Amino acid sequence: MITDKFELREDTPVVAFIGVGSNLGDSEAFVRAGINELRRSKGITLLDTSPFFRSKPFQASGEDYINAVIKIKSLLNPDDLLSTLQFIENQNGRKRSTLNAPRTLDLDLIFFGHSQIDSPRLKIPHPRWRERAFVLLPLHCIAPEWVSDEMLKNVQNQEIVQVE
């Protein structure tokens, strides 16, 4: 696992939220595989998993997505966590052909504690998390304090249903 290459933090673990999605192949299996691989990664403890949701692509094309949000504790710094997410995506056949192309697995770092990061490689909080029902609804299930009624109202026209 790639996390074996990273130096773990000595201080308190940071709570982070990760959006998980897929719309190629057996999407539900890819989402489960991504979550399980994160669960097995050194320096990461899975705290909670939202129900799965099926949604139409938003600002993208392709088949419907299966989405979830997970809550973790991380001893990795944000950059190393992002590298771990991208490694797991690649191990699951993720191809980065075009922006918002269909994908086997998408792992987006939404929050890393209350950090605000704006680098060329990483932006936290995720810049579009408030615009996407496929982030807000699953996040609301496991961390309602992060999602207001107004945010939910703003995405109510996006097609999404809970599947589990």
Q: Which DSSP symbol is given to 8?
A: P
Residue 103 bears catalytic tag:
yes
Residue 79 bears catalytic tag:
no
Q: Is the pLDDT of residue 136 over 80?
A: yes
CATH tag, 2-162: 3.30.70.560
Using CA atoms, how far apart are residues 71 and 18, in angstroms rounded to an integer? 7
Q: Which segment of 1-5, 16-20, 26-30, 81-85 scores lowest on mean pLDDT? A: 1-5
Six token digits for residue 86: 């991208």
Q: Is the pLDDT of residue 72 over 80?
A: yes
Alpha helices by DSSP H, listed for the chain, are 27-39, 78-91, 133-142, 149-154
Q: Is the pLDDT of residue 132 over 70?
A: yes
Residue 11 bears catalytic tag:
no
Q: Which residue has the higher pLDDT, 8 or 80?
A: 80
Q: Annotated catalytic residue: which of 54, 80, 94, 132?
A: 94
Q: Which residues contact 109 (CB under 8 A, 6 or more apart)?
A: 16, 17, 18, 78, 81, 82, 85, 122, 124, 126
- Confidence bin at 80 (pLDDT 50/70/90): very high
